[in-house]
Each structure stands twice: as C-alpha cells, then as structure tokens.
C-alpha cells in the first residue's frame, strides 16, 4: 500500500514506536501503513460515520494488522482516553471540524498533534496561538494541489504570528514547494484585493499589502537574500 504524498507527510511526523490515534480515519490507510511498517506499536482510529469505519476494518484486515488496532464510532476524540497515545492525527478535514475536535478534547495539551487542515487554516492558526500551542508547518504538493501539514504541541509561552504568517504559515521559504505555494497564494490575494477594491471595500489594502509582502519575500529568495521568517 502506498500512501499519497499528503498522508506520507503526516506519517513522517509520527513518533517512531509510538501509539497513534487517527481521527476521521475513513479507509484507515494511514494507521494501516504505519502498523504494517512497525512505525507505531498500536493504533486507535475513529470516525463519525459507520461506512468509513467498515472500510477501515477491511483495510486493517487486508494489511494483517487489525489485532493491533482499535476502532471507535464517535465524534472526534470523545470516546478516547489518552492512555499511551503519543500522536493524534486529524487529516483531510476543514479547520472548523478540527477546532471542534480539539476544543472537545480535555487532554489536548498532553499529546503531539499532526493536523492537516483543508480549509480556513488562518482560523486554526489563530486558535493555536490563543491556546498557547507551538508548531511547524510543511507544504506538500500533489499535482496542482497544495496541502498544509502541521506538527503541533503545547507550548510554555505563547507564540505570535505576523499577518503574513497567519495567512500562509510559518514556512521555510528556502523550500521550492513553499515558494510555489506562496506564489499561488500571492495570486489569490491579488485577485481578492482587486475584487474588494472594485467593490469599494477598505480591506482591499490588507490583501494588497500581503500580496506585495509575498512578492518581496520571493524576490529576496530569488536573489539569495532570504532568511527564516520564524
């Protein structure tokens, strides 16, 4: 079984030899592969719908790892006790669902989270800042699509983000994928600024400024003058 680049990037962040919990597991491709490769000792997988959990059971059975897995039909982590769980993966969902799952988890400061949000990522970043978490981010490209993978842990002191970091993340500009992602974001911000400008809305300036900041960063990287943003 081959994981997609997106899921492989999530798998790469898992603590070797740990116990993972995959929330919204769907076909359980991630836990099945981690168990098959003995990269985790045990896996807990949850899904809010019965159909995906049946598919998960089939995948885990075919991979010959079902005896080391536990399946739960529940919303987020509501039926899960932290026990020896080292890493919780919440991938392929919108930020609002991820936030709901995190907010309802009383033991969220005890484990490492691997988050792979699909939409509204600045909202998730803002919440993580407010809740005193720190994290690193990686950008993965599959064809035309970009995915953000976040490795998140409780922090002792709050982190702060600039408006640009809030929008595109705390990323390594030296990575070619990051620069492609930033260029794509820049185009989107520019278009948004134009639309808002035409509608006579003052927020247009914010998006123009962000778009220009990205352009400057990309130019600096191109000229070899870039430095880590955070």
The interaxial angle of helices 29-36 and 50-62, nearest 10 deg, is 20
**Residue 49 Cβ vs ligand SAM, minimum distance, rounded to whole Å:** 4
From candidates 26, 138, 213, 221, binder to ligand SAM by CB under 6 A: 26
Binding segment toward ligand SAM, per CB under 6 A, in 92-100, 123-131, 137-145, 155-163: 92-100
For ligand SAM, the binding residues in 139-158 under the rule CB under 6 A are none
Is 59 a binding residue for ligand SAM by CB under 6 A? The answer is no
**Residue 46 Cβ vs ligand SAM, minimum distance, rounded to whole Å:** 5
Is 18 a binding residue for ligand SAM by CB under 6 A? The answer is no
Is 213 a binding residue for ligand SAM by CB under 6 A? The answer is no
Write out the two tokens for 146: 């970009």
For ligand SAM, the binding residues in 93-132 under the rule CB under 6 A are 93, 97, 101
Binding segment toward ligand SAM, per CB under 6 A, in 86-94, 133-141, 188-196, 220-228: 86-94
CB atoms within 10 A of CB 81: 9
Q: Which is nearer to ligand SAM, 101 or 168 (CB)?
A: 101
Provide the binding-site residues for ligand SAM, judged by CB under 6 A. Answer: 7, 23-26, 46-49, 52, 75-76, 91-93, 97, 101
């Amino acid at each position: 079984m081959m994981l997609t680049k997106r899921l492989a990037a999530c798998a790469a962040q898992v603590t070797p030899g740990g116990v993972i919990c995959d929330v919204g597991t769907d076909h359980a491709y991630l836990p099945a592969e981690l168990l098959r490769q003995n990269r985790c000792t045990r896996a807990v997988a949850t899904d809010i719908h019965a159909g995906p959990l049946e598919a998960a059971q089939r995948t885990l059975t075919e991979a010959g790892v079902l005896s080391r897995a536990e399946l739960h039909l529940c919303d987020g982590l509501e039926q899960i006790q932290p026990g020896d769980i080292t890493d919780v993966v919440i991938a392929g969902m919108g930020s609002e669902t991820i936030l709901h799952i995190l907010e309802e988890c009383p033991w969220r400061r005890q484990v490492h989270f691997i988050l792979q949000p699909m939409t509204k990522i600045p909202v998730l970043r803002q919440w993580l800042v407010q809740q005193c978490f720190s994290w690193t981010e990686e950008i993965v490209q599959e064809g035309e699509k970009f995915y953000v993978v976040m490795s998140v842990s409780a922090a002792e002191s709050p982190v702060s983000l600039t408006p640009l970091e809030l929008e595109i993340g705390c990323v390594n500009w030296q990575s070619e994928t990051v620069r492609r992602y930033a260029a794509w974001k820049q185009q989107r911000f520019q278009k948004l600024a134009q639309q808002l400008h035409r509608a006579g809305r003052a927020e247009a300036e914010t998006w123009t400024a962000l778009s220009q900041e990205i352009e400057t960063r990309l130019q600096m990287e191109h000229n070899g003058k870039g430095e880590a943003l955070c």
